[in-house]
Structure 1
């Protein structure tokens, strides 16, 4: 298919109290004719409230806003003169955050849409660079990327090097095979398990802290398995090689809704404190303040809420964008 839309039962997060659900990942494989027929049959039974994930490169239904002169006036001179906002988004994931469209080259998803709102408000053209989680810090520090919209959580260490403008709650989720029987609420829940995680992430820090706690209590720590791609972790879960994977909540909720995995626990990315997902820029260059102002414009005119609802992320909305929120060290 050159374009397809996955109809997915929307999974509400009301049962995930104060949780930052995690993510798993969908493999966007090409459909055979029979698979397409099966998909259409399933779609006919999907309720009208179902989330529609657009995988087309055109993204005709993307929500847009207009320029906010006050926000545009805050853009650093070099970026304003260039007229382009160059942002990094990890396109190796799955709906709804950042993933490759049907052309296998265009990065689309909720993170791209938020970046588009910011660029619109600043009167700039959006340029999306497909980046990896491991490479975004160097990309920002080198100037190759002017900002990153890639589910980056604010923490004390990152605040030393980068500026942030928040736009979503930072929730992580544990996913496992359906009917695994797992229930992970704290360190005790991962004792003795094999747990997949991305290197250099907030969730890795949490798991390392939990392992230290388990060892101090004389309990078996979890075995951490590192994955660059959440899709690989999903395959490992499905094959029984991995007990659970800790990743972003939006991916986890989506993956659960299509039946590939089950959310078995959640944790805030800032555990034991609270943190948020934010646009990330080089510290001190002034761009984060412009982004915050542009986000506020999108909050005020309703396009921020529309964008989150488009991708089924309304439950992760924040009340207002915040510049460099205070976090516990």
Structure 2
């Protein structure tokens, strides 16, 4: 694995940033409705990255999925730059755009279904969705239930209020502070496991990532912790970059505790896991996977090949 350096996720339009910060959490449309408003499949459009179908990959799909005629995909929205809405209420960002690319390569429709992050795994278990594409970290604990086709590798970052009034410069400085995180994320577990002696991190778990950011902005937490790609995006776009600072530790240039993240599939669905792994590999080989990363300003977090369940080794 090559060394990956942390780069700011910048370049989002003001329109998208405004949508993220105002009311997006109340939207419930899925891409099956938004993307296929004309009754057709939800495919890349406009300047989104596109590909061509591969019949050999299509043949790898489980019979039940092929008969259904679509992949139902659980995505937590908004979670920029991984997933957000544009001004037309279309799902954009790395996860929705990669999902459409996978569907196009497999010659099958996709339905991008908004799902709260803490319920994405139950939605698979209930048969509501087939895949999770929501920037989910690949961990040994989650591997007890899921297979992961890993698609990014990077750490988490710490945001503080502009000017860093608390003087937080390393991860250890979080001891004794209140830190906001999104509910059911790995960051909460990592913070609670820190060796802080008698002065542990006070972890505040909130329903959405935007709620966790808002807690910091309102002074209800001393710091906010999230995947580096998400934290960098928030720092660059909130208030035109004037609201948050990123804590940059020279000893952790790729972010703190780097991990793999990927597409989650129920462990019993080995056939679907292989179909998605082979499809991602095809997208890597042809360069469209990297184009989707670059389009969403997260090119530094690429994986070199499509592998399954690397989390235990990270």
Fold-level similarity (TM above 0.5): yes
Q: Does 1:225 find its partner at 2:204?
A: yes
CA distance in 2, matches of 1:59, 1:264: 37
CA distance in 2, matches of 1:323, 1:70: 20
Counterpart for residue 21 of structure 1? none
**Superposed, which structure 2 residues align to 1:130-209 within 5 Å?**
130-180=114-164, 182-186=167-171, 188-209=172-193
Structure with more relative contact order (C-alpha pairs < 8 Å, separation 6 or more): 1
Q: Which of 68, 74, 79 lines up with 2:65 in the alignment?
A: 79
**Superposed, which structure 2 residues align to 1:93-112 within 5 Å?**
93=79, 95-104=80-89, 106-112=90-96
Distance of aligned partners of 1:139 and 1:301 in 2 relative to their CA distance in 1, 3 Å threshold: same
Q: Which of 257, 279, 297 lines up with 1:294 in the alignment?
A: 279
CA distance in 1, matches of 2:119, 2:61: 24
C-alpha offsets along residues 72-101 of structure 1, whole Å, 9 cap, x if unaligned?
2211110012221110111133x3111223
Q: What's the secondary structure of 2:189's corresponding residue?
A: helix
Distance of aligned partners of 1:113 and 1:123 in 2 relative to their CA distance in 1, 3 Å threshold: same
Counterpart for residue 244 of structure 1? 223
Q: TM-score with structure 1 length normalisation?
A: 0.76
Q: What's the secondary structure of 1:236's corresponding residue?
A: helix
C-alpha offsets along residues 37-90 of structure 1, whole Å, 9 cap, x if unaligned?
xxxxxxxxxxxxxxxxxxx97951110111223322211110012221110111
Shift >4 Å, 4+ stretches: 56-59, 265-272
Q: What's the secondary structure of 1:275's corresponding residue?
A: strand
CA distance in 2, matches of 1:150, 1:135: 11
Q: What's the secondary structure of 1:87's corresponding residue?
A: strand
Gaps of 5+ in 1: 1-12, 18-24, 31-55
Distance of aligned partners of 1:229 and 1:59 in 2 relative to their CA distance in 1, 3 Å threshold: farther
Q: What's the secondary structure of 1:75's corresponding residue?
A: coil
Counterpart for residue 196 of structure 2? 214
Q: TM-score with structure 2 length normalisation?
A: 0.80
CA distance in 1, matches of 2:65, 2:281: 20
CA distance in 2, matches of 1:62, 1:309: 11
Gaps of 5+ in 2: 8-15, 23-33, 36-43
Q: Which of 68, 73, 92 lines up with 2:78 in the alignment?
A: 92
Distance of aligned partners of 1:184 and 1:122 in 2 relative to their CA distance in 1, 3 Å threshold: farther
CA distance in 2, matches of 1:96, 1:316: 13
The worse-fitting range, judged by mean Cα deviation, of 260-269 and 134-143 is: 260-269
Shift of 1:269: 11
Aligned residues: 276
Q: What's the secondary structure of 1:64's corresponding residue?
A: coil
Distance of aligned partners of 1:275 and 1:234 in 2 relative to their CA distance in 1, 3 Å threshold: closer
Q: Indicate if the aligned counterparts of 1:148 and 1:280 stay in contact, CA closer than 8 A.
A: yes
Q: What's the secondary structure of 1:152's corresponding residue?
A: strand
